[in-house]
Amino acid sequence: MKMGKATRNALAGLLASIAASNAVASDYDGSRPLVCATLEAIACRADVECKRGSAESLHLPQFFWFDTAAKTVAEKRPDGQMRSAAIQSVSQNFAYMILQGTKDNLGWSGTISKASGKLTLTGSDGSAALTVFGACTPTK
C-alpha cells in the first residue's frame, strides 16, 4: 500500500506529538526531584471555622521538595527552618503520582498531576486538617 506525502506528514506529526506528550509527562512521574510551591491552602480545626489563604497568611511552608528516588519530602518553614520526612508510599496511575507518609502525629498524602504538575497535598493529626493546592516543577 502506497502512502501519500500528506498522509506521511500527518502520521509523522502525530507520532511527534505523542513523543512530546510522553516527554512532558515524565517530568512528573517520580523520575526527577520536584519543587512545589504552595499557591493556596485551607486549614481547619474541629469545631472551628476553616481558614483559607496563602502559605504566608496561614504560617505554612511556601515550598516543598519531593524526591521519590531518595523517598524524602522536605519543607522550608516560614521561619527558615528546614524539615524533612520519609515518603512511605509512592503509587501511580496514568494520570497521577500519589505520595503518602507520616511525620510525628501527622498523616499526609499528596497527589501530583502527571500532565500539569499541579499538587494537592493534605494532612491531618486528629484535631486539625490541612489542604494545600500548589504547582510543581522538576529541579534537575
pTM value surpassing 0.85? no
Looking at the 3D structure of the chain, how many domains does it have?
1
Largest CA distance in the chain: 72
Q: What is the pLDDT of residue 69?
A: 93
Tens digits of residue pLDDT in 61-105: 999 999 999 999 999 887 888 999 999 999 999 999 999 999 889
Structural domain span for residue 109: 5-138
CATH (domain of 88) = 2.40.128
Cα–Cα distance, 101 to 56 (Å, whole number): 24
Q: What is the pLDDT of residue 99?
A: 97
Cα–Cα distance, 17 to 91 (Å, whole number): 26
Tens digits of residue pLDDT in 10-33: 444 433 343 344 444 468 888 999
Contact status, residue 63 vs residue 35, Cβ threshold 8 Å: yes
